[in-house]
Chains A and B, each alone.
Chain A
């Protein structure tokens, strides 16, 4: 089980790194999306086997709820709590990134990293430009 998960994680990491090297920012965003998925799956893979061998017999670990099973026989809930927190955060940040790309496309008319690099970099900041969007 852990080996299978590790292979999945490796494949997803490879795909996401490939996407991250793209010049198109849409692909970069998708690459980041997959990158965080791979990280979450990596943590799951790290959190140990869901099965436990007790005296030659293999049993499934119980849900981590006090009173439902003997102490010591349930799954460690903490990695899942970590992942849950992290999923929520990466969801929010990915949403922000996509919104940023939409705004950028409207304003700069480009999603290509090379074109953005050639975009003039005014040395003056936009302090004084009143927010047209607002």
Chain B
């Protein structure tokens, strides 16, 4: 069954982690093996994405061939295929960048295995079709990220890391509690089965089980904490600038988007499904979270002087866009959010990697210490500029299309104050980015690492081939993503159709639903009885 190939998204990074652990001490071999594994994962994602068609909208693999809905499902559809392709390209770029920018002592340590385990967690959380498995995937990802965040054991890192660990631990515990309670309430944790229960409740008008909305709010708390939604984002800017730059690019691009992906996947179809009376509170909560996240984060971005901190705040503001797209509960807005999410991952990673180059070459990422970078490092200047206009959404590039689609849907839905907040955020993003551009890239060259002391001979400029190639990859992909807007937008529209109407997804995962007794296998039938009696 070719469907089982989707398990490769978990197997390949795990292989990467194991191989690079075994090769510890042989840095060149680790790099080569790691790149091979990441490349293979990206190629798998690309290939499998083309197997998704209107006839087979979802590729499903039941682990251990357990009968649906009792087994654990891995499901690949248009939404997570898009994100997997982008995530693995980002991973390659960040990995290549790390060859030049990370301290050699760290690279000889545990950097390589942890990197692959982080990718394992990210891929696993994208591909899983089961809420408890999502918890496990989050934990794998977080465990790797806890270790990466303190890699090297710097003073600032250790003083800030506890925040990240403690908060995520609270989030994880709430998640496991919610998953357990949800199982007690509805008797399943499979996404498709949950969607089936909710859509049946919608059709028959029967009320959802008591406490379902409370569980929705608890899950929103968990995902908002992961996705850095206001007011749960305070841990993010404090930790992002203490990490090595390639890791912070990875965190910026992937970790927060995993939380947003979970919201996009689960809230329209299940936990905030429109048209159900019992879920109105969650439906009202989503736009409020989106609006406040955008506005407050972008104002914070204007007040920072550290380029990394500015980018982290812009990242949070743009998470607000994505939540805005989800909160509208319209198919067009989902498509816009998905399209924008792909673009945002690439561009944010690219900008964070540019920061890494600044640190390495110019010796600073503070706006008050930088100047004239464009003259001293023209290549970096060009790449930064392309990423910058991609982030702010200048028309030929991809940021424009997602944002335009979100705004159009917002206007159609008469969500005026959210549309206003989006425009406000877009303008202030431009201001914040121009602030970096004018202060750091224009003017006289003045950076600790670039100014040669009087009398000293300027040495040959160091070349960072891998780092430049990594940034160039993100630039290339983000520009291509924008220029190919027609196919990518059509793809996003097709992929997100199921979020609005989950029937196709349910049928693909659980089998045809029009049969009165869907689980005809004898074992499955008896299990159903057993579970109902035991409750």
Q: Report the stretch among B10-18, B171-179, B254-262, B488-496 that lies at the interface.
A: B171-179
**A97: which B residues are within 8 A, CB to CB?**
162, 165-166, 169
Asked whether any CB of chain A lies closer than 8 Å to the CB of B396, the reply is no
- With A131-B106, A134-B105 already in contact, the answer to whether A126 and B169 are too (CB < 8 A) is no
**A100: which B residues are within 8 A, CB to CB?**
146, 150, 158, 161-162, 165
Q: Is A46 within 8 A of B180, CB to CB? A: yes
Q: Which residue of A lies closest to B244 (CB)?
A: A127
Asked whether any CB of chain B lies closer than 8 Å to the CB of A11, the reply is no
- With A32-B166, A46-B184, A123-B241 already in contact, the answer to whether A82 and B176 are too (CB < 8 A) is yes
Asked whether any CB of chain A lies closer than 8 Å to the CB of B365, the reply is yes
Q: Is B183 within 8 A of A82, CB to CB? A: yes
Asked whether any CB of chain A lies closer than 8 Å to the CB of B26, the reply is no
Within 28-78 of A, Cβ neighbours of B (below 8 Å) are at 28, 32, 35-36, 39-40, 42-43, 46-48, 52, 61, 71-76, 78
Determine which residue in A72, A74, A75, A127 has the highest number of CB atoms from chain B within 10 A of its CB, and name it: A127
In Å, the complex CA distance between A39 and B183 comes to 14
Say how far B167's CB is from chain A's closest CB, in angstroms. Answer: 10
Asked whether any CB of chain A lies closer than 8 Å to the CB of B245, the reply is yes
**A101: which B residues are within 8 A, CB to CB?**
162
Q: Report the stretch among B197-205, B330-338, B456-464, B523-531 that lies at the interface.
A: B523-531
Q: Is B365 within 8 A of A124, CB to CB? A: yes
- In this complex, the interface size class of chain A, counting residues with CB under 8 Å from chain B, is 35 or more
**B183: which A residues are within 8 A, CB to CB?**
43, 46-47, 78-79, 82
In Å, the complex CA distance between A103 and B359 comes to 26
Q: Please, what's the 1-or-0 string for A105-124, where 1 marks a CB less than 8 Å from any CB in chain B? A: 00110000000100111111
Q: Which residue of B lies closest to A97 (CB)?
A: B165
Q: Is B132 within 8 A of A43, CB to CB? A: no
> Which residue in A42, A79, A93, A125 is a CB contact (below 8 Å) of B245?
A125
> Which residue in A73, A78, A79, A131 is a CB contact (below 8 Å) of B105?
A131
Asked whether any CB of chain A lies closer than 8 Å to the CB of B103, the reply is yes
Say how far B240's CB is from chain A's closest CB, in angstroms. Answer: 9
- With A43-B177, A82-B176, A93-B143 already in contact, the answer to whether A104 and B109 are too (CB < 8 A) is no
**B174: which A residues are within 8 A, CB to CB?**
39
Q: Is B170 within 8 A of A134, CB to CB? A: no
Asked whether any CB of chain B lies closer than 8 Å to the CB of A129, the reply is yes
Say how far B524's CB is from chain A's closest CB, in angstroms. Answer: 12
- With A89-B136, A97-B169, A125-B245 already in contact, the answer to whether A133 and B176 are too (CB < 8 A) is no
Q: Is B526 within 8 A of A107, CB to CB? A: no
Q: Is B184 within 8 A of A79, CB to CB? A: yes
**B359: which A residues are within 8 A, CB to CB?**
124-125, 127
> Which residue in A75, A86, A122, A130 is a CB contact (below 8 Å) of B156?
A122
Q: Is A96 within 8 A of B146, CB to CB? A: yes
Say how far B197's CB is from chain A's closest CB, in angstroms. Answer: 16
- With A71-B530, A89-B136, A107-B155 already in contact, the answer to whether A35 and B170 are too (CB < 8 A) is yes
**B529: which A residues are within 8 A, CB to CB?**
71-72
Asked whether any CB of chain A lies closer than 8 Å to the CB of B116, the reply is no
**B102: which A residues are within 8 A, CB to CB?**
127
**A46: which B residues are within 8 A, CB to CB?**
180-181, 183-185
Say how far B158's CB is from chain A's closest CB, in angstroms. Answer: 4
Q: Is B157 within 8 A of A126, CB to CB? A: yes
Within 127-176 of B, Cβ neighbours of A (below 8 Å) are at 132, 135-136, 139, 142-143, 146-147, 150-162, 165-166, 169-170, 172-174, 176
Asked whether any CB of chain A lies closer than 8 Å to the CB of B364, the reply is yes
Asked whether any CB of chain B lies closer than 8 Å to the CB of A10, the reply is no
Q: Is B159 within 8 A of A108, CB to CB? A: yes
Q: Is A42 within 8 A of B180, CB to CB? A: yes
Q: Is A131 within 8 A of B150, CB to CB? A: no
In Å, the complex CA distance between A74 and B306 comes to 60
**B104: which A residues are within 8 A, CB to CB?**
130
Q: Which residue of B lies closest to A46 (CB)?
A: B184
**B166: which A residues are within 8 A, CB to CB?**
20, 28, 32, 97
Say how far B515's CB is from chain A's closest CB, in angstroms. Answer: 22
Q: Is A32 within 8 A of B173, CB to CB? A: yes
In Å, the complex CA distance between A116 and B161 comes to 11
In Å, the complex CA distance between A104 and B397 comes to 44
Q: Which residue of B lies closest to A28 (CB)?
A: B166
In Å, the complex CA distance between A53 and B155 comes to 61
**A132: which B residues are within 8 A, CB to CB?**
153
- With A35-B173, A93-B143, A123-B366 already in contact, the answer to whether A116 and B535 are too (CB < 8 A) is no
Q: Is B143 within 8 A of A85, CB to CB? A: no
In Å, the complex CA distance between A126 and B424 comes to 35
Asked whether any CB of chain B lies closer than 8 Å to the CB of A25, the reply is yes
- With A42-B180, A46-B180 already in contact, the answer to whether A129 and B162 are too (CB < 8 A) is no
Say how far B142's CB is from chain A's closest CB, in angstroms. Answer: 8
Q: Is B169 within 8 A of A82, CB to CB? A: no
**A124: which B residues are within 8 A, CB to CB?**
359, 364-366
Asked whether any CB of chain A lies closer than 8 Å to the CB of B243, the reply is yes
Determine which residue in B108, B180, B305, B530 has the highest number of CB atoms from chain A within 10 A of its CB, and name it: B180
Asked whether any CB of chain A lies closer than 8 Å to the CB of B80, the reply is no
Determine which residue in B108, B139, B531 has the highest number of CB atoms from chain A within 10 A of its CB, and name it: B139
**B356: which A residues are within 8 A, CB to CB?**
127
**A133: which B residues are within 8 A, CB to CB?**
152-153
In Å, the complex CA distance between A43 and B108 comes to 42
The 8 closest A-B pairs by CB, nearest first: A126-B154, A43-B180, A46-B184, A39-B177, A72-B533, A131-B152, A104-B158, A131-B105
Query: What are 15 contact pairs spanning A and B, CB under 8 A?
Result: A20-B170, A35-B170, A46-B183, A46-B185, A52-B533, A72-B529, A73-B533, A76-B534, A85-B132, A93-B142, A96-B143, A96-B147, A104-B158, A121-B159, A125-B245
Known: A36-B173, A43-B181, A125-B359. 13 other contacts (CB 8 A): A28-B166, A39-B177, A42-B180, A47-B180, A76-B535, A79-B180, A100-B161, A108-B159, A122-B156, A123-B366, A126-B152, A134-B108, A134-B109
